[in-house]
Amino acid sequence: MMNVSLQRSYRSKNGNVTFVYKVTGSEEAIEKYKEIQGDFYREDDEGNALWFTTRCIGDKGKLLITTNNKVVPDMSDFDQAASIAEQYGGNFGQAIANASARKILGGGVDDDEENEG
């Protein structure tokens, strides 16, 4: 597993927003990533591996290499949050969804939590 952190975004010539993430991990993981990316492998000016995607996964995340040698984001936290929110529905489900989104995306506490204690 490799970690990614959002570096920047830009709009492609086709008008799509592209998110650029710096990839970090063990030397072995980065070498495997480089091998899989092939001609599409890119680095920043400091030699850090980069991952490009049109789907934002937040400020930080993880990349997985599948058994078919595909590089994909680990969306487990998003999937779990959606499942729990759907299970409960209504106001409680929405509250769970809001809290989960803040946690996943690295947001701060809300006003109610701030005023407690």
Backbone angles phi, psi at 107, to 5 degrees: -75, 170
CA-CA distance, 107 to 99, in Å (whole number)? 9
> pLDDT tens track of the chain, all 117 residues?
899 999 999 999 999 999 999 999 999 999 999 999 999 999 999 999 999 999 999 899 999 999 999 999 998 888 888 888 888 888 888 888 888 878 877 764 444 444 444
Tokens 């930080």 found at: 60
0.85 exceeded by the pTM?
no
The CA-to-CA distance between both ends of the chain, in Å, stands at 38
Tokens 């109610």 found at: 112
